[in-house]
């Protein structure tokens, strides 16, 4: 065998080994549910959607509905939910194609479809109105929902919300999704996912093996990666200023000052535009304050809920 033939053979073996290492098949849905469901009843049929949804706390308490961000799940709110559910009704769910929720049966992941979902969730739980809380993309869904359905949102909590234009996300056109992103449908080894998530945290010690395993396995749920790509491709931002100016409900912004995903400086845009907003800035924290330093964000959130409670009780 010539040296060239040997080298070619070794190169092909290396490519094969690399492909085997990178290839990441879906996880079994039943096994994921067995691992991450709190109770079997948390899987619910809401209209056309099969959702992972948790509804805890007193049923007669004023409700807060939490919406997670891109590629996440309701577990991101765990610390806040456990602390608040003794006094508040806490509703959180996995968006379609995220966490344990099935992909949307129509493959529609537009904001309008998400607003329909929020209405359906509230109606299914008998909630005429609720506080709406959201992180990142979930924050955009929260404030756009409040702008378009003002009778259903009684207060807002926006954690590093999305909505203003940024590189790759211009107003009036679909987002630019790099072709390389499509490869995650086939290749998403945990080390690569960890590298992509690292910029979301200022303190990398938060990225424990258990946290990374949960994020990784949730992204490997059947249909989850296609759903994430579809949500990105279907995102069309519009100028947020007119909608934000129409939102008059009390609003709390919670933002990590070291956010490398959606810059902390964007908070000033919201404060200038929202008529009734206040900011809780958290030094030394990145894009996920509810995970990275939950206690500090919780202090601001709890104070906000208490401060707005009396006004909501007397409102018509």
Q: What is the CATH number of the domain that holds 87?
A: 3.40.50.1820
The CA R_g of the chain, rounded to the nearest whole Å, is 21
Q: Which residues of the chain have pLDDT under 50?
A: 1-20, 314-316
Identify the burial level of 248 via C-beta atoms within 10 angstroms of its C-beta, where 0-12 means exposed, 13-18 middle and 19 or more buried: exposed
Across the strands, what pairs with 64? Answer: 90, 131
Cα 33 from Cα 67, distance rounded (Å):
20
3-state SS string for 73-122: CHHHHHHHHHHHCCCCEEEEECCCCCCCCCCCCCCCCCHHHHHHHHHHHH
Across the strands, what pairs with 279? Answer: 253
Cα 312 from Cα 316, distance rounded (Å):
8
Identify the burial level of 202 via C-beta atoms within 10 angstroms of its C-beta, where 0-12 means exposed, 13-18 middle and 19 or more buried: buried
Cα 124 from Cα 234, distance rounded (Å):
26
Number of domains, the chain: 1
- In this prediction, residue 313 carries a pLDDT of 52
What does the angle CA 234 – CA 193 – CA 213 come to, to the nearest 5 degrees? 110
Cα 290 from Cα 76, distance rounded (Å):
7
Tokens of 253: 């912004």
Judge contact between 227 and 103, C-beta under 8 A: yes
- In this prediction, residue 229 carries a pLDDT of 92
- In this prediction, residue 312 carries a pLDDT of 59
DSSP code string of the chain:
--HHHHHHHHHHHHHHHHHHHHB-PPPPHHHHHHHH-SSGGGEEEETTEEEEEEEES-TTSPEEEEE--TT--GGGGHHHHHHHTTTSEEEEEPPTTSTTSPPPTT---SHHHHHHHHHHHHHHTT-S-EEEEEETHHHHHHHHHHHH-TTTEEEEEEES---S-BTTB-BTSB----GGGGGGGTB--HHHHHHHHGGG-SSGGG--HHHHHHHHHHHTSTTHHHHHHHHHHH-BB---HHHHHT--S-EEEEEETT-SSS-TTHHHHHHHH-TTEEEEEETT--S-HHHHSHHHHHHHHHHHHHHHHHHHHH--
Q: pTM value? A: 0.91
Range of the structural domain that residue 280 is part of: 3-314
């Amino acid at each position: 065998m010539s040296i060239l033939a040997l080298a070619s053979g070794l190169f092909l073996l290396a490519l094969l080994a690399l492909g085997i290492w990178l290839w990441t098949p879906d996880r079994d849905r039943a096994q994921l549910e067995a691992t991450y469901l709190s109770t079997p009843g948390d899987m619910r049929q809401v209209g056309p959607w099969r959702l992972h949804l948790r509804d805890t706390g007193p049923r007669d308490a004023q409700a807060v509905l939490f919406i997670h961000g891109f590629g996440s799940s309701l577990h991101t709110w765990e610390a806040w939910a456990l602390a608040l559910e003794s006094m508040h009704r806490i509703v959180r769910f996995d968006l379609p194609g995220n966490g344990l929720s099935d992909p949307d049966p129509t493959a529609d992941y537009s904001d309008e479809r998400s607003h329909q979902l929020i209405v359906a969730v509230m109606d299914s739980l008998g909630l005429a109105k609720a506080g709406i809380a959201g992180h990142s993309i979930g924050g955009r869904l929260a404030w756009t929902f409040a702008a378009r359905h003002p009778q259903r949102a009684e207060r807002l909590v926006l954690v590093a919300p999305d909505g203003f234009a940024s590189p790759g996300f211009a107003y009036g056109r679909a987002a630019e999704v790099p072709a390389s992103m499509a490869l995650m449908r086939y290749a998403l080894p945990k080390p690569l996912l960890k590298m992509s998530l690292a910029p979301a945290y200022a303190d990398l010690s938060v990225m424990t093996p258990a946290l990374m395993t949960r994020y990784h396995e949730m992204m490997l749920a059947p249909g989850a990666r296609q759903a994430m790509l579809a949500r990105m491709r279907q995102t069309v931002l519009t100028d947020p200023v007119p909608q934000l100016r129409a939102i008059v409900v009390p609003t709390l912004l919670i933002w990590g000052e070291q956010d490398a995903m959606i810059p902390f400086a964007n908070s000033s845009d919201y404060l200038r535009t929202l008529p009734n907003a206040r900011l809780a800035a958290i030094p030394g924290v990145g894009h996920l304050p509810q995970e990275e330093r939950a206690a500090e964000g919780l202090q601001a959130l709890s104070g906000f809920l208490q401060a707005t409670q009396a006004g909501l009780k007397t409102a018509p």
